[in-house]
Amino acid sequence: MMPELTGHRRRFLSELGAGFGSLALAGLLGDESVATEPGATRDDLLLPNASPRPARAKRVIMLFMFGGPSHIDSFDPKPRLVAEHGRPLPFAKPRVLSFPLRHGNLVGSPFSFRRHGESGAAVSEVFPEVASRVDDLCIINSMHCTNPRHGGAVLEWHTGTDTFIRPSLGSWLVYGLGTENRNLPGYVTICQALSQGGTNNFGSAFLPAACGGTPLGRDGTPASRAKFPFIKPAASRDVQQKELEMIRRLGRKQLELTGSDQALEDRIASFELAFRMQAAAPEVQALETESRATQALYGIDEKATEDFGRQCLLARRYSERGVRFVQCNSNGWDHHSGLESAMRQMARSVDRPIAGLLSDLESRGLLDETLVVWGGEFGRTPTAENGNGRDHNPHGFTMWMAGAGIRPGLIYGRTDEYGYYAVENKVHFHDLHATILHLLGIDHNRLTFRYSGRDFRLTDIHGEVVDDLIA
């Protein structure tokens, strides 16, 4: 009878979210699956940990451009491609392409490039505001990955693999470093797309649920209406405290019967976090408390830039309150046709907010301890698709970093003269992951978690720190 009783109690506790809507966190922490060999309690995990080695950065803000922004139309100019516009590609096309039968001849960028700052970095006309901050950027023009499809490539960036469910980059950081604010999640993702990998892109997988990303809104919902699910009070605070104490008592009874149960402990703790977030989260999201000048800096005063501007301002506010990893998401960079108009529109929507974020972080003394990362899951082809678009290109593309610990004003690596392949100082996702962890004081080889008899890590058996990127 004992196993049956235990099962009933476990089901009861797992279903508490349906009965206690004021505290429920169903879905709040993303994937709640945990390892059979957790090795640490949730409370231990959430405590801020000193970095094992000297850290240059305390936190990360990821600016993710979902869809694959074209590097040869943004930060990697190709004069030869422009000169040979309309000619056939002079070498064999890669074997793995998204739509190989729809590829035409070479198509040069319709945008002009100018060199900016002391670094002389060339930036497309579609990013004039980011160009004004170019000396803050470390531009990597030699990124590459393995998967030409959105779902696989997005997973590869977020988790280090496109074939298995693994913890995300942000989850690994929370697991390794904890959080500096116990009243907020350690990892927040704003207006996250739920396609192309879905919750696996910000989930904890086999790490404890405490490490998972907490979605604030979702793609398709304006950032002005982005809310955390399931934390709106449905009862008075006194009633909620009584509910929470009952949950704790039931949990303790269950643990007396079964012994350690990480999944149950995580769920109880998630109720506690939801309770604390009811007071903390609304204050962070009250953007109206910011000055008009600050809101204008992020572009919140203009329709074209308002949405991503809100995301970036939220990222600053959550970061300065101790959230370890914040991701802003811009969806709409998959330009298989209509490249010129679509690229202008998407670049305009993020350009001013990104420059505003960098300026605001610097003015507040936060840029020196915050690592800002920009990019998408891959780049685009130098050949035309559908006449006026570009196909997916995982073989060579651009990402950039700014802030804590990186070499500002550096243009690193290069693609070939047409922008198809990374050919010099190639950097894989694994290498960039290793470098990001390094900047936060973590050796990517030693941040491991034992699951199913094996020690897992973000970079698996790959990755090298790119020392040239570090100041």
The structural domains of the chain, with segments of one domain joined by +, span 31-227+285-469
- % of residues, the chain, pLDDT over 90: 68
The answer, yes or no, to whether residue 174 has pLDDT greater than 60, is yes
pLDDT > 70: percent of the chain:
79
Return the amino acid letter for 377: E
φ/ψ of residue 63, rounded to 5: -105, 95
Q: Is the pLDDT of residue 2 over 50?
A: no
Q: Report how far residue 109's alpha carbon sits from residue 339's, in angstroms, rounded to the nearest whole number.
A: 9
DSSP, collapsed to helix, strand or coil, labels residue 235 as coil
Residue 89's SS3 state is coil
Q: What pLDDT sits at residue 270?
A: 62
Residue 21, pLDDT > 70, answer no
Paired with 124 in beta bridges are 113
Which among 399, 299, 380 is positioned nearest to 340, based on CA atoms? Answer: 380
From the number of C-beta atoms within 10 Å of its C-beta (0-12, 13-18, 19+), residue 220 rates as exposed
| pLDDT, tens only, 260-278 | 666 666 666 666 666 566 6
Confidence of residue 29 (pLDDT cuts 50, 70, 90): very low
DSSP letters of 107-173? Answer: ---SS-EEEETTTTEEEETT-HHHHTTGGGEEEEEEEE-S--SHHHHHHHHHHS-SSS----HHHHH
Which CATH fold topology does 31-227+285-469 show?
Alkaline Phosphatase, subunit A (3.40.720)
How far apart are alpha carbons 243 and 138 in whole angstroms? 50
277-333 pLDDT tens trace: 666 678 889 999 999 999 999 999 999 999 999 999 999 999 999 999 999 999 999
CA distance 328 to 314: 9
Burial 80-101 (b: 16+ CB within 10 A, else e): ebbebeeeebeeeeeeebbeee
Query: Left (φ > 0), alpha (ψ -120 to 50) or beta: where does 204 sit?
Result: alpha
Say whether 251 sits in a helix, a strand or coil.
helix
Q: How would you classify the pairing of strands 137-144 and 427-428? A: parallel
Rounded CA gap, 291 and 281, in Å? 19
Per-residue pLDDT tens for 414-428? 999 999 999 999 999
Query: What confidence score (pLDDT) does residue 271 get?
Result: 62
pLDDT in tens, 75-90: 999 999 999 999 999 9
Q: Which of 4-13, 215-224, 232-241, 418-427 has the lowest mean pLDDT?
A: 4-13
The rounded distance, in Å, linking the Cα atoms of 406 and 368 is 9
Residues 6 or more apart in contact with residue 221 via CB below 8 angstroms: 191
**What pLDDT sits at residue 32?**
36
Q: Which of 295, 250, 60 is nearest to 174 (CA)?
A: 60
Residue 274's pLDDT is: 62
Q: What is the pLDDT of residue 194?
A: 86
Residue recorded with tokens 């972080």: 361
The pLDDT value given to residue 276: 64
* pTM score of the predicted model: 0.85
Place 176 in a pLDDT band, splitting at 50, 70 and 90: very high
In three-state secondary structure terms, 225 is helix
Torsion, Cα 340 125 123 428, to 10 degrees, reads -20
**Which structure tokens are listed for 461?**
């058996």
Amino acid, res. 375 = G
- Per-residue DSSP letter, 139: E
Side-chain-facing half-sphere of 26: CA atoms under 13 Å: 11
